[in-house]
A = this chain, B = another copy of it.
Amino acid sequence: MGRTPAGQTREKVFRFVRTRLLAGQPPTVREVQEAFGFRAVQTARQHLEQLVEDGRLSADRNKARGYRLPQSARGPRTVLAPVLGQVPAGALEEAIEDPDGYVPVDARDVSDELFALRVRGESMTGVGILPDDLVLVRRQPTAKSGDIVVALVDNEATVKTFKARGRRVELHPENPSFEPIVLDSDADGVVILGKVIEVRRTLS
């Protein structure tokens, strides 16, 4: 009966199970057994039970593939946000129906409606938003002063800093080469699509 130093094998078992769980395929006790070459089911089971006792795993008793990650160890809830290429006039709904792809996002609030947009132009370089960056947007019809928003101006989606100035609304670029857009909040000229909550850039 080969014997391994204390706790060493258990650590590997934990990683094996965690990997499988994160991949969405909870393992059975016997799959753990085979993965480690144990000749007895019970050996695998003892490790698993010990991990549960240590709080590193949780278990649905008497259920097939019943081992889970406890709430604490669990990763963030991930949702997929559609990546939109073009957002022609008001056609946000349709654009969301036919996205260019999806990106995974850590869902803080599952009720949030998210989408992603690729940035065009250099108007926001001053705050580190560069051309071709991807902005994650939470849909909302209004914004607070200082928020970076996606707004529909002249049938085109644009990323700007939102400023409320009395009865007016200003959309400020963050680049001295560009001019602010000033609009009457009553006018139909301005439509807030949502607020930018994250910026992503892929390198190379």
| A-to-B contact residues, CB < 8 Å | 21-22, 24-26, 28, 64-65, 68, 75-76, 78-80, 101-106, 125, 128-130, 133, 147-148, 195-204
Contact = CB atoms under 8 A, between A and B. Distances in A.
A134 to B, nearest CB: 9
A21 to B, nearest CB: 6
Given A103-B76, A104-B76, A104-B104, A199 B200 contact: yes
A80 B22 contact: yes
- Integer count of this chain's copies in the complex: 2
A78 to B, nearest CB: 4
Given A75-B104, A128-B201, A198-B200, 20 more contacts: A24-B24, A24-B26, A25-B26, A26-B65, A65-B65, A75-B80, A75-B101, A76-B101, A76-B102, A76-B104, A104-B105, A104-B106, A147-B204, A148-B203, A197-B202, A197-B204, A198-B201, A198-B202, A199-B201, A199-B203
